[in-house]
Amino acid sequence: MHMIESGNTAAANGVRLAKVQVIAAYPITPQTPLTEKLSEFVDSGEMDAQYIPVESEHSALAVCIASSSAGARSFTATSANGLLYMNEQLHWAAGARLPIVMCVVNRGIGAPWTVWNDHQDSVSQRDTGWIQIYCCDHQQIIDTVLKAFCLAETVSIPVMVCYDGYILSHTYMPFDIPTQAEVDRFLPPFAPAYALNSENPANLNTVTLPDVRPDVRGNMAPGYMEIRHNLHADMRSAIGVVAEIDQKFQEVFGRNGNPYIEPYQCDDAEFVAICMGSLSYHLRDVVDILRTEGLPVGVMGLRLYRPFPDQAVREALAGRKNVIVFEKALSYGNQGALYADIKSALYCGKKRPPVHNYILGLGGREIKTAQLVEVLKKSCTQPDTVGDEPQWIGLKL
């Protein structure tokens, strides 16, 4: 079915088609319409799910941790300070290896208060052990929600589906809604390896000693350090699983094919801009303008941010004359977080291009096409004037 609706509605339809069993909801702008739409689906009987309104975001994820531990497919959503309020539970969900899916509708974080878009909320939580995938349009939102459940339940790691507040969450765009039969072919019912059962009681995630120790059956059990190593190793292995799931999705639905990076005009590009979210589509207009001026420039939208697909990034950017990283987040006191990750990935490459960093759009600051044309042209034609320090676009001091 073809629909023209908001990004939040696209996400809600993905959750509905995934046959989620437990939804925990607490309102926060600009995520609220997503969980409101889910409440309508549950109330109308379109979803057979428990919809649990709670008193805070911390509680919302606590509900999902409990329901997922009991073997139920579980979902929640949040934004900005709501995501930060979940921080303790984010670590718990990842450490407990629970396949929860959460939509993060990206918004700047306080103080001072802002309700507008940037990526500081999800980027600040990049080290909590959750997989993070970023969407560029409404079709990617609904598709990524479905793939996120498949991925989370395959690798037993929770997944954040991130998309830009207002720019995507509230704007109307066309997207296709697959049939339930198609989704059922792609996403089987959740069948956890272990789930809490009153007839087979167990203690989960009790105090772990520093070293390995025998469990109640006498078998050697991992200590805290081994558990952390295993999560990291499985996150790295998940990079390959993402590609496998993308291929499976393409076979069922006939869409996708760019699990890590979505390129535009990059086949012959000597200069490549790279960013996350809807900004990569904005930059396509900039690339088209600069192409008319004879500059061989392209843009890549990074879809998978955690685990970071370093090999794919290294191969995609090898041999370019310059790489220009645009991002709506900052690692305070250092540089852009994505910029640091890109440089780290390129460090081992034999054909390592120089890299520039531009910070823009924080707190919803308008991103003007003319500004993007100007700075991208400067990085291409006058690279020595930019340097390694982050450059700020639209800053008014």
CA gap 138, 278 in Å, rounded: 10
All domains in the chain, ordered by first residue:
2-186 (3.40.50.970), 262-392 (3.40.50.920)
Give the residue with greater pLDDT, 236 vs 387: 236
Q: In the numeric block, which tokens belong to residue 185?
A: 């072919």
What percent of the chain shows pLDDT beyond 70?
100
User: Which residues fall within 8 angstroms of residue 70, CB to CB, at 6 or more apart?
Assistant: 195, 196
Q: Tokens 């790295």 correspond to what residue?
A: 236
Is residue 103 scored above 90 in pLDDT? yes
Provide the CA 4 distance to its chain's centre, in angstroms.
Answer: 23
How far, CA to CA in Å, does 87 sit from each of 58, 118, 129?
Answer: 8, 18, 11
Secondary structure of residue 131 in the 3-state scheme: strand
pLDDT 10s digits, 302-333: 999 999 999 999 999 999 999 999 999 999 99
What pLDDT score was predicted for residue 184? 98
Residue given tokens 């805290």 in the structure block = 224
343 φ, ψ to 5°?
Answer: -65, -40
- What SS3 class is residue 54? coil
What string of DSSP letters covers 210-221? SS-EE-TTS-EE
333-386 confidence digits (pLDDT tens): 999 999 999 999 999 988 899 999 999 999 999 999 999 999 999 999 999 889
Does residue 209 or residue 128 have the better pLDDT? 128
Whether 205 has a pLDDT exceeding 90, the answer reads no
Q: What is the Cα–Cα distance from 219 to 363, expressed in whole angstroms? A: 52
User: pTM for the complete prediction?
Assistant: 0.97
216 φ, ψ to 5°? Answer: -65, -20
Res 394 pLDDT > 90: yes
Q: What is the reported pLDDT for 14? A: 98
